[in-house]
Amino acid sequence: MAVFSKPLTVTHTCYELGHCWTPYCRTAALDIARHVFKEAIKIYGTLYFIAALLRRKDSNYYRKKLIPETLRSTIFLTINGTLFIIMFCAWRRGQLAVYLTNLALETGYRMLVERQLITPVHNGEVYIFSLVSAIYLYLFRKQNGLPSSTVSLFRFIMGSEESFKDSPSQGASLDCQQVKQASKTKNRNVLERSSGGLVERVKSRLLAIPLVGGFIQEVFSLVSSGLDIVEDLPRHLCCPHKYSCLSYILKGGLRMFSLGFLMQAALSTFSSFTAIVKKPTAIFRTVFNKVNTKLALFLGSYCAIFRAVSCLLRWMRNKDSDQHALVAGALAGFSLRFYKSITIALYAATKLLEILYFKGIQLYKFPYFKSADICIYAFSTAFIFHAAVMEPHTLRPAYWKFLLRVTENKFSMMNRQLLDVFGVHSSKLYPDYWPNYVPGFTQLTKVSK
């Protein structure tokens, strides 16, 4: 347990305690800078390139902006990794402050658990996400409830039908005919309409295959008929979607499930690229892995549950209301059970607090603190790096691996056995590690435990 008595100090040199791989401070700093730069340029180069492809940037972006943006972020991470706190890119301060605050909160929570000052709550991250999801989606239904970037994100996940619409029926009770048949106007068939004719072209080629063409025709006819039947089921007059409620729920859930599976499969393939090159058959095991379905189930059920509860409440109450989003959002939030992540829950919570505080500044004259993002970022960075030195076992495992990666494992080469006197189990991750010191620079010898 941590020691809370009079201040305790250690008298070891920076070589003995910190950069144990070299006795020279300048060499240590250059080593870290070089390794961080090498890893950062790979990380940000890939990130910006994929983002540009997804956003369909034109050739002008690749010629003029891709390299400068990659270098700017790379230099930022390099300086941050070597000096702990240098920040020059103003437009990223808010994002980084929220991210690092989230990480600092999680680290602080782990520290309290490690000290047995609090007891972990089973599925606590799910309850947090459920609460913030209810508030997010309620604001999503309100005019100017969320920033435009956040609205775009929820429109992408949930669809634009549930977002705020400036219409007379918004939130009003309707006494007219409550059940309405879905529109029967179709563009030839459901599959063609949803894919711009791509499926029809693929279908025509498959039908040309000998022996199996007839079977494929039967499958397409069956699927098309099934989708037509689902779309022709009734929907409530207050529902904002065009076709039946069941169709609305299934389409949203399947779309986000497919997207989640593809995203996770792509990440798994990218991280296993070297192994796949050596053994191409490994791609099937990498793609069709149960782990890849976790994100898919989370995103698919998150959208489907929200849509299902929203439609159910419209049927039960015979009206649409912004308050429906509170119930639907809370229940949809429980989908995080499929993809338990304290990172997602805390990031959503800290981002929501930021949004609500800025609303308080605009509407209720909350105090505005100039450069608050810099101060929050500085404190969070200091706290996280303190934990990385003194209690690395309390850091998020993925972030600790990231620190090891960008420093080429230099962070693990610190002699944390010298810090165990503070009572926080500093050497817990590496209890048997002792640096191979250069003779003449220290008199330390390994003490047998």
Average confidence (pLDDT) over 433-439: 87
For residues 31, 36, 38 and 39, what is the CA-based torsion angle, rounded to 10 degrees?
A: 140
Residue type, 201: R
Q: Residue 313 has what pLDDT?
A: 95
The C-alpha angle with vertex 150 and arms to 148 and 151, in degrees rounded to 5, equals 60
- At residue 53 the predicted structure's pLDDT band, cuts being 50, 70 and 90, is confident
Number of H helices, E strands in the chain: 18, 2
C-beta pairs of 367-376 under 8 Å, 24+ apart in sequence: 373/93, 373/94, 373/96, 373/97, 374/87, 374/93, 374/97, 376/97, 376/100, 376/101
421 contacts 10 by C-beta, under 8 angstroms: yes
Structure tokens at 414: 């610190």
The C-alpha angle with vertex 320 and arms to 315 and 325, in degrees rounded to 5, equals 100
Identify the bridge partners of residue 181 per DSSP, sorted by sequence position: 234
- At residue 275 the predicted structure's pLDDT band, cuts being 50, 70 and 90, is confident
Q: Residue 182 has what pLDDT?
A: 44
Question: CA 67, CA 408: separation in Å to the nearest integer?
Answer: 24
Q: Residue 194 has what pLDDT?
A: 38
Average confidence (pLDDT) over 354-382: 87
Q: Is 443 exposed, middle or buried (0-12, 13-18, 19+ CB in 10 A)?
A: exposed
Question: CA 252, CA 303: separation in Å to the nearest integer?
Answer: 6
41 contacts 74 by C-beta, under 8 angstroms: yes
Q: Which of 84-93, 256-265, 345-354 has the highest mean pLDDT?
A: 345-354
pLDDT per residue as tens digits for the range 71-123: 877 776 676 655 543 333 344 556 667 788 888 999 999 999 898 898 988 99
pLDDT per residue as tens digits for the range 4-49: 445 566 666 777 666 677 777 777 777 777 777 877 787 888 878 8
Bridging pattern class, strands 234-236 and 179-181:
antiparallel
Between these two residues, 411 and 359, which has the higher pLDDT value?
359
400: left (phi over 0), alpha (psi -120 to 50) or beta: alpha
Query: Strand, coil or helix: what is 204?
Result: helix
309 contacts 302 by C-beta, under 8 angstroms: no
Q: Is 420 exposed, middle or buried (0-12, 13-18, 19+ CB in 10 A)?
A: middle
Structure tokens at 3: 């020691």
Question: CA 114, CA 262: separation in Å to the nearest integer?
Answer: 37
Which of the 8 DSSP states describes residue 18?
Answer: T
How crowded is residue 358: how many other Cβ atoms within 10 Å of its Cβ?
Answer: 14
Residue with tokens 């099934």: 226
162 contacts 329 by C-beta, under 8 angstroms: no
pLDDT per residue as tens digits for the range 306-327: 999 999 999 999 989 999 999 9
Question: CA 151, CA 137: separation in Å to the nearest integer?
Answer: 9
What is the number of residues in the chain?
A: 449
Question: CA 133, CA 329: separation in Å to the nearest integer?
Answer: 5
Question: CA 304, CA 166: separation in Å to the nearest integer?
Answer: 25
Identify which of 253, 265, 272, 270 has the alpha carbon closest to the alpha carbon of residue 291. Answer: 265
Structure tokens at 434: 């002792």
Residue type, 229: I
Question: CA 216, CA 373: separation in Å to the nearest integer?
Answer: 58
Q: What mean pLDDT value characterizes the chain? A: 79
**Distant-in-sequence, close-in-space partners of 26: CB < 8 Å, separation ≥ 6:** none
Q: Is the pLDDT of residue 214 over 50?
A: yes
CA 82 to chain centre: 26
- pTM score, two decimals? 0.69
